[in-house]
A and B are shown apart, each in its own frame.
Chain A
């Protein structure tokens, strides 16, 4: 049964799941920073090592805790956040990621044996609607400002579509730098990541391709002042079974920031 009333949402509320991390790596105003690898609450994720073909994710140590409902569905019921600088906090579901990318190579690196996303796109299908790609830094990169082209299969099943990083890369980008990949005209999302091509070497460091879905975005317009959205203002967004929630923070300045908050799911 789906939750269809506010009473149902209230009755189905689960205990809060907390976030508290210090984003000490150098932030860049307006560039997403993944909090995944930082210590705090939840604990730091270890950089994944599934290989170039990647792994479809149904859980991953370091995610925000998530338990499937005994019956029925899961909805975002409350997202609270605060930070020591203004910015916005994105709650996301991590669907797939890989490793083994040669950061010094300027030729196409095919994600051999890469799989389709699990059935957790915006409609609970494995098609890719609302699923985006990104390149995530898990160990600071070196010199160079390459452009990143992700080849992907789109939500309609059309292969060999390409998109590049929306925000320009930077030399020495710190751990957590999260370069979201734009979509080709007309595309609504990514079903499968196929390959990555760097236009030039990034010299050193470690990067991963990631497929993710944004569940909610929370504006934090004032430093040290919390803000929250609830089931109504978040659009009663559904999370699907085996979700892997994690956070992105879009800072307004480069200042290291304490980012915290909590999430409450409603299930039923």
Chain B
């Protein structure tokens, strides 16, 4: 589980359960919002608590 402010655009992340079944790959962070929400897969929003940084 990542904390708000830790992830940066371009970081590679793994999606944590219960969302991993729908997003099973490793994805780059494509955008960040002001509240810390990260965007992956084009336009899917994730709170950092549902992501873990891989690289």
Cross-chain contact of A199 among B21, B35, B43, B50 (Cβ < 8 A): B50
Q: Please report whether the interface of chain A is mostly helix, strand, loop or mixed according to DSSP.
A: loop
In the complex, B46 has a CB within 8 A of chain A:
yes
B39's nearest neighbour on chain A, judged by CB, is A145
Q: Are A149 and B18 in contact (CB under 8 A)?
A: yes
How many chain B residues touch A (CB < 8 A): the figure is 16
In the complex, A34 has a CB within 8 A of chain B:
no
Q: Which residues on A sit within 8 Å (CB–CB) of B11?
A: none
Q: Which residues on B sit within 8 Å (CB–CB) of A146?
A: 45
Q: Are A145 and B47 in contact (CB under 8 A)?
A: no
Q: Mark A118-148, 1 if CB is under 8 A from B, else 0.
A: 0000000000000000000000000011110
When A and B form their complex, what is the total count of cross-chain residue pairs whose Cβ atoms lie within 8 Å? 48
Q: Are A147 and B19 in contact (CB under 8 A)?
A: yes
Q: Are B46 and A151 in contact (CB under 8 A)?
A: no
Q: Are B46 and A162 in contact (CB under 8 A)?
A: no
Which residues of chain B from 1 to 55 have a CB within 8 Å of any chain A CB?
17-19, 21-23, 35, 37, 39, 43-47, 49-50
Expressed in whole angstroms, the Cα–Cα distance for A168 and B44 within the complex equals: 8
Q: Are B49 and A106 in contact (CB under 8 A)?
A: yes
Q: Are A164 and B47 in contact (CB under 8 A)?
A: no
Known contacts being A200-B37, A201-B35, is A107 close to B21, with CB within 8 Å? Answer: no
Q: Are A201 and B37 in contact (CB under 8 A)?
A: yes
Tell me the minimal C-beta distance from B10 to chain A in angstroms: 19
Cross-chain contact of B45 among A144, A162, A197 (Cβ < 8 A): A144
Q: Are A201 and B19 in contact (CB under 8 A)?
A: no
Expressed in whole angstroms, the Cα–Cα distance for A107 and B47 within the complex equals: 9
Tell me the minimal C-beta distance from B15 to chain A in angstroms: 8
Q: Mark A78-91, 1 if CB is under 8 A from B, else 0.
A: 00000000000000
Q: Are B44 and A145 in contact (CB under 8 A)?
A: yes
Q: Are B18 and A200 in contact (CB under 8 A)?
A: no
Q: Mark A83-109, 1 if CB is under 8 A from B, else 0.
A: 000000000000000000000001100
Q: Are B44 and A147 in contact (CB under 8 A)?
A: yes
Q: Are A145 and B19 in contact (CB under 8 A)?
A: no
A185's nearest neighbour on chain B, judged by CB, is B21
Tell me the minimal C-beta distance from B47 to chain A in angstroms: 4
A151's nearest neighbour on chain B, judged by CB, is B18
Interface set of B (CB-CB < 8 Å, partner A) = 17-19, 21-23, 35, 37, 39, 43-47, 49-50
Interface set of A (CB-CB < 8 Å, partner B) = 106-107, 144-147, 149, 151, 162, 164, 168, 184, 197, 199-201
Q: When A and B form their complex, which 9 residue pairs have the shortest distance between CB atoms, in order from nearest?
A: A106-B47, A200-B45, A149-B18, A164-B22, A162-B18, A200-B37, A199-B46, A145-B45, A200-B47
